[in-house]
């Protein structure tokens, strides 16, 4: 491919709307173009990258006996009604009526379609286990798409669905798929991806893992124990609490706290620490707007995933009205209105001498003792763990919190879909049972962007060889020099004939423009042919990651470049 012919624009300035580096570099490098919020077109370099990623996904899915199929993008609402998700999923599921008035949805995941495809096939135990997968466009109407290809509305995903007749069989396959995922990320150039326990969310099922690339720009909080192998998504990490009752309980007293509403204001005013306060966080249930008041110790934050899992429905931050019985800024557990659901976090269990709201404007209470003042309170885990929290596995104060991008996930779904959609099989003894499912996803574009996040410098992406748009980038500096041009043309043709993917820049532009374009395209090996090099009888060869800078004689260049590429693939 001649660079001169490559459709797409490359430029130096970081676009002002790009927050993360991968987004900025992929816009600057002519990889992608904005079409609408969270919707992009891809130019050839990105398409070549994603096709290589797709081929890796396909090979690894085939290697664990996956069968490639395809499900529709547009699906009848009926199968989503069967599973119950037509009603339970929010606005991110696009619903509309087709021309005949039938309700349809755009696929954001395909558990329903997978069950629909195989429920007649899988009627006897002898057909099991099997796994089907597809690589297909999905649409998820995200409220806040962001970070370029990291969180979009339209995306290509590899999604796989396995079907089993026992939990043991699912677990075996799940472990096999876990290994396949490790191979996929290693082959794609990010072996540093880790798997962590996760919350299953809307997918259902119990055990699930996310594959995380640790990076400061990640949207997820990842909890890692530095004393044992515990790793989990913040959403799924139990908060283990030390018992922190102080020796003597003071009396419960009402104190004036004029204008002091936040934990910071109140604790500063009363001269106590945040951990000596009982904080109220108020939500409303999405389904009926009922108020939910959650009390937790002032130095903890709410883990909303735990809250919604407990309630069994989604919530939103409350709008506190004048007539709801709650006194904004002064809410406390003693004497609170009956007009709401009151929940207590484990961090408050047995604690005494706390400051809390008095349910009266401009007043708080001091000396709150949960054992004494609220003996019938029930405590559950609703809080986020913090840096230094107790590890739920080894029990040491050793948890650390990092940020990460989720580049893949695997779920043990159980019978959630087969039961609701009435997929059954007959076992060897004639019993009629629901098969057990697993599902396994990887977003192709997000993976490409994550690799770019993990491997780039200020000048552009540094693509790993297995997914790079091309393997060798030839810069013919001064292509108007006939000797340079003849040699570079021949080098381009010879390498191409050897099956190496080459992008060839023979434009009449300065070396500076050539090199900055090469940096943006991020091809692993750059070869510079120039009048000075020709005089010296050499070409310069450098790797994009700067680990290699060498030269080869004009005669040996083809062999040396070929060997470098081959070697890079072997190390991959």
Q: Which residues bind its own copies (CB under 8 A)?
A: 5-9, 33, 35-37, 39-44, 47-48, 51, 65, 67-76, 79, 91-92, 94, 96, 98-100, 102, 104, 106, 113, 116-118, 120-121, 127, 130, 132, 136-137, 139, 141, 143, 153-154
Give the nearest distance from C-beta 531 to its own copies in angstroms. Answer: 24
Nearer to its own copies, 43 or 487 (CB): 43
Q: CA nearest 435: which of 52, 132, 69? A: 132
CB 133 to its own copies: min, Å: 10
Crossing angle of helices 557-571 and 482-497, rounded to 10°: 40
> How far apart are CB 44 and its own copies at their closest, in Å?
4
Six token digits for residue 299: 């130095």
Helix 444-454 × helix 21-28 angle, to 10°: 100
User: What would you report as the CA-atom Rg of the chain, rounded to the nearest whole angstrom?
Assistant: 29
Closer Cβ to its own copies, 102 or 361, answer by number: 102
Residue with tokens 């779920």: 411
Backbone angles phi, psi at 487, to 5 degrees: -65, -45
The residue among 40 and 440 lying less far from its own copies, judged by its C-beta, is: 40
Q: How far is the CB of 493 from its own copies (least distance, A)?
A: 16
44/272 with CB nearer its own copies: 44
Q: What is the largest CA-CA distance in the chain?
A: 95
- What is residue 386's three-state secondary structure? coil
Between 122 and 238, name the residue whose CB sits nearer to its own copies: 122
Indicate if the alpha-carbon torsion angle 467, 222, 152, 154 is positive or negative.
positive
Using alpha carbons, select from 521, 567, 517 the residue that is nearest to residue 547: 567
Q: How far is CA 408 from CA 185, 212, 365, 416, in A?
A: 9, 7, 48, 21
Output the DSSP codes for 423-452. Answer: --EE-TTS-EEPPEEEEEEEEHHHHHHHHH
**Contact status, residue 334 vs residue 307, Cβ threshold 8 Å:** no
CA 499, distance to chain mean position in Å, is 35
| Minimum gap (Å) between residue 530 Cβ and its own copies | 24
- Omega into 86 within 30° of 0, i.e. cis? no
Judged by beta carbon, residue 323 or residue 497, the one nearer its own copies is 497
Which residue, 113 or 177, is less far from its own copies as judged by CB? Answer: 113
Return the number of the residue (33 or 254) whose C-beta is nearest its own copies: 33
Minimum distance of its own copies from residue 200's CB (angstroms) = 24
411 by Cβ neighbours in 10 Å (0-12 / 13-18 / 19+) ranks as buried
Minimum distance of its own copies from residue 202's CB (angstroms): 16
Strands 525-529 and 39-42: unpaired
| Between 69 and 324, CB nearer to its own copies | 69
Measure the CA dihedral 401/404/406/411, to 10°.
-20
Closest approach of Cβ 47 to its own copies, in Å?
A: 5
d(CA 53, CA 448): 8
Nearer residue to its own copies within complex by CB, 73 or 374: 73
Q: How far is the CB of 100 from its own copies (least distance, A)?
A: 7
Look at residues 256, 306, 316 and name the one whose alpha carbon lies nearest to residue 285: 316
Least separation in angstroms between residue 2's CB and its own copies is: 10
CB-nearer residue toward its own copies: 44 or 554: 44
Q: Identify which of 476, 263, 446, 286 has the alpha carbon closest to the alpha carbon of residue 364.
A: 263
Distance of closest approach, residue 118 Cβ to its own copies, in angstroms: 6
């Amino acid at each position: 491919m001649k660079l001169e012919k490559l459709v797409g624009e490359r430029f130096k300035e970081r676009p002002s709307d790009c927050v993360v580096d991968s987004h900025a570099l992929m816009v600057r490098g002519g990889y992608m173009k904005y079409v609408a919020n969270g919707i992009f077109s891809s130019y050839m370099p990105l398409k070549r990258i994603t096709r290589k990623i797709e081929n890796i996904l396909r090979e690894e899915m085939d290697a664990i006996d996956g069968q490639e199929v395809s499900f529709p993008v547009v699906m009848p609402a009926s199968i989503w009604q069967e599973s119950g998700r037509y009603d339970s999923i929010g606005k991110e599921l696009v619903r509309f009526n087709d021309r005949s008035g039938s309700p349809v949805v755009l696929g954001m995941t395909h558990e329903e379609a997978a069950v629909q495809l195989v429920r007649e096939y899988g009627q006897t135990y002898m057909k099991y286990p099997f796994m089907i997968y597809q690589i297909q466009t999905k649409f998820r109407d995200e409220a806040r798409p962001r970070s370029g290809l990291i969180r979009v509305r339209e995306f290509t995903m590899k999604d796989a669905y396995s079907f089993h007749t026992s939990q043991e069989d699912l677990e075996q396959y799940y472990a096999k798929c876990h290994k396949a995922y490790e191979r996929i990320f290693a082959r794609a150039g990010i072996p540093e991806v880790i798997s962590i326990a996760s919350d299953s969310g809307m997918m259902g099922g119990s055990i699930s893992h996310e594959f995380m690339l640790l990076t400061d720009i990640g949207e997820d909080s990842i909890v890692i124990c530095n004393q044992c192998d515990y790793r989990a998504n913040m959403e799924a990490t139990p908060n283990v609490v030390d018992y922190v009752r102080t020796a003597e309980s003071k009396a419960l007293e009402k104190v004036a706290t004029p204008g002091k509403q936040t934990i910071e204001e109140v604790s500063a005013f009363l001269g106590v620490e945040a951990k000596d306060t009982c904080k109220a966080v108020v939500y409303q249930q999405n389904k009926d707007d009922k108020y939910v008041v959650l009390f937790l110790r002032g130095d903890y934050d709410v883990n909303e995933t735990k809250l919604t899992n407990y309630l069994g429905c989604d919530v939103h931050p409350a709008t506190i009205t004048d007539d709801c019985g709650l006194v904004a800024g002064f809410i406390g557990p003693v004497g609170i209105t009956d007009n709401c659901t009151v929940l207590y976090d484990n961090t408050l269990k047995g604690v005494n001498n706390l400051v809390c709201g008095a349910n009266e404007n401009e007043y708080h209470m001091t000396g709150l003792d949960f054992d004494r003042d609220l003996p019938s309170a029930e405590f559950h885990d609703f809080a986020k763990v913090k840096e230094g929290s107790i590890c739920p596995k080894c029990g040491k104060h050793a948890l650390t919190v990092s940020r990460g991008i989720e580049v893949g996930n695997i779920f043990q779904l159980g019978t959630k879909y087969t039961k609701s959609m009435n997929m059954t099989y007959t076992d060897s003894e004639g019993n009629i049972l629901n098969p057990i499912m697993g599902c396994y996803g990887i977003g192709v574009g997000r993976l490409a962007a994550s690799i770019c996040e993990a491997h780039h410098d200020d000048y552009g992406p540094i693509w790993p060889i297995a997914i790079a748009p091309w393997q060798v980038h030839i810069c013919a500096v001064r292509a108007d020099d006939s000797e340079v041009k003849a040699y570079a043309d021949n080098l381009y043709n010879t390498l191409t004939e050897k099956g190496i993917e080459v992008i060839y820049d023979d434009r009449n532009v300065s070396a500076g423009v050539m090199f900055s374009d090469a940096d943006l395209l991020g091809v692993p090996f750059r070869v510079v042919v120039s009048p000075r090099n020709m005089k010296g009888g050499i070409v310069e060869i450098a790797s994009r990651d700067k680990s290699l800078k060498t030269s080869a004689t004009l005669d040996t260049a083809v062999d040396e470049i070929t060997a470098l590429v081959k070697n890079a693939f072997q190390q991959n």
